[in-house]
Structure 1
Amino acid sequence: MTPPPAPVAALLVVDVQSAFVVGQGAVPDAARLEERTADLIARARAAGALVVHLQNDGRPGAADEPHTPGWELHHPVEAGPTELVLRKTRDDGFAGTGLGDLLEERGVRAVAVCGVMSEMCVQATARTALARGYRVVLPHDAHATQDVPAAAGISGRIPARAVSRVAAWALGGEADITSRSADVSFTSGEAGGRGEPTPVPS
Structure 2
Amino acid sequence: MQAIPETDVDEAPTAQALIVVDVQSAFVSGTDAVPGHKRLLSAVATLLENARASGVAVIFIQNDGPAGAVDEPHTPGWQLHFTPRPGEHVVRKELDDAFDGTSLNDLLSVSGIETIAFCGMLSEMCLAATARTAMALGYGVILPHDGHATYDVPPGPGGSEGVPAHLAARAAEWSLGDEVTIVASAGDVKFARHQAG
Relative to the length of structure 1, the TM-score reads 0.90
Give the alignment's Cα RMSD to 1 decimal. 1.3
Distance 2:40 2:74 in 1: 23
65-74 or 172-181, larger mean C-alpha shift: 172-181
The match for 2:49 is 42
The structure 1 residue matched to 2:29, chosen from 22, 44, 55, is 22
Matches within 5 A, 1:134-153: 134-153=139-158
Instruction: For residue 153 of structure 1, give the secondary structure of its aligned residue in structure 2.
Output: helix
The structure 2 residue matched to 1:119, chosen from 111, 124, 137, is 124
The match for 2:192 is 187
Relative to the length of structure 2, the TM-score reads 0.93
Distance 2:31 2:195 in 1: 40
Count of residue correspondences:
189
Runs of 4+ in 1 over 2 A off after TM superposition: 1-4
Structure 2 stretches of 5 or more lacking a match?
1-6
Which residue identity lines up with residue 173 of structure 2 in the other structure?
A
1:23 CA displacement: 0.5
The match for 2:171 is 166
- Residue 55 of structure 1 pairs with residue 65 of structure 2: no
Contact 1:8 1:190 in 2 (8 A): no
1:190 CA displacement: 4.7
Structure 1 stretches of 5 or more lacking a match?
192-202
Which residue identity lines up with residue 185 of structure 2 in the other structure?
R
Contact 1:55 1:85 in 2 (8 A): yes
Distance 1:142 1:98 in 2: 24
Percentage identity across paired residues of the two chains: 51
Distance 1:154 1:105 in 2: 50
